Amino acid sequence: MAHSALPSFIEDVWNASIVPTLESYIRIPNKSPAFDPEWQAHGHMQRAVELIAQWCRARPIRGLSVEVVQLPERTPLIFMEVPATGEPAADGGDPGTVLLYGHLDKQPEFTGWIEGCGPWEPVHKDDKLYGRGAADDGYSAFAALTSIEAVQREGRAHARCVVIIEACEESGSYDLPAYVEHLSDRIGEVSLVVCLDSGCGDYDRLWSTTSLRGLVTGNLNVAVLTEGVHSGDASGVVPSSFRILRSLLGRLEDERDGTIRVKDLHVKIPPDRKRQASATAKVLGKRLLESYPWLPGVKPMQRDATKLVLARSWQPTLSVTGVSGIPQMQDAGNVVRPFTSFKLSMRVPPTCDANRASERVKQLLERDPPSGAHVTFEAEKSGEGWNAPVLSRWLEVALNDASSAAFGKPAAFLGEGGSIPFMAMLGEKFPRAQFLITGVLGPHSNAHGPNEFLHLPTARRVTECVAHVLTAHAAHSASPERAVKAKRAVKAKRAVKAKRNLTRAATKSARKKKPR
Q: Which domain holds residue 507?
A: 486-511
Same domain? For 218 and 241 the reply is: yes
Same domain? For 79 and 102 the reply is: yes
Same domain? For 318 and 364 the reply is: yes
DSSP tag of 205: S
Whether residue 180 has pLDDT greater than 70: yes
Cα dihedral 491/496/498/502 (nearest 10) = 160
Cα dihedral 246/249/255/260 (nearest 10) = 180
Residue 279 lies in a domain: no
Among candidate residues 384, 387, 378, the one with its CA nearest the CA of residue 422: 384
Per-residue pLDDT tens digits for 154-167: 999 999 999 999 99
Q: CA 389 to CA 271: how far, in whole Å?
A: 14
Same domain? For 319 and 426 the reply is: no
Q: How many separate domains does the chain show?
A: 3
Report yes or no: 191 and 98 within 8 Å, Cβ to Cβ.
yes
Helix 456-477 to helix 393-407 angle, to the nearest 10 degrees?
140
Whether residue 421 has pLDDT greater than 60: yes
Bridge partners of 82? 161
Whether residue 490 has pLDDT greater than 50: no
CATH of the domain at 158: 3.40.630.10
Report yes or no: 334 and 231 within 8 Å, Cβ to Cβ.
yes
Q: What is the pLDDT of residue 487?
A: 44
Same domain? For 118 and 245 the reply is: no
Same domain? For 350 and 434 the reply is: no
Residue 104 lies in a domain: yes
Per-residue pLDDT tens digits for 306-337: 999 999 999 999 999 999 999 999 999 999 99
Residue 351: other Cβ atoms inside 10 A: 18
Classify residue 225 by burial, with Cβ atoms within 10 Å: 0-12, 13-18, 19+: middle
- State the average pLDDT for the chain: 92
Residue 286 lies in a domain: no
Same domain? For 319 and 359 the reply is: yes
Residue 277 lies in a domain: no
Same domain? For 100 and 201 the reply is: yes
This prediction has a pTM of 0.82
CA 397-398-403 angle, 5° bins: 105
Same domain? For 319 and 173 the reply is: no
* Cα end-to-end span (Å), the chain: 72
Q: Is 368 left (phi over 0), alpha (psi -120 to 50) or beta?
A: left
Same domain? For 392 and 261 the reply is: no
Whether residue 439 has pLDDT greater than 50: yes
Residue 306 lies in a domain: no
Q: What is the mean pLDDT of residues 54-73?
A: 97
Residue 274 lies in a domain: no
Same domain? For 209 and 335 the reply is: no
Last-in-domain residue among 379, 400, 426: 379
Per-residue pLDDT tens digits for 76-96: 999 999 999 976 554 455 689
Residue 272 lies in a domain: no
Last-in-domain residue among 379, 403, 436: 379
Residue 20 lies in a domain: yes
Same domain? For 25 and 170 the reply is: yes
- Say which range, 165-169, 177-181, 415-419, has the weakest mean pLDDT: 415-419
CA 279-474-391 angle, 5° bins: 25
Last-in-domain residue among 352, 379, 406: 379
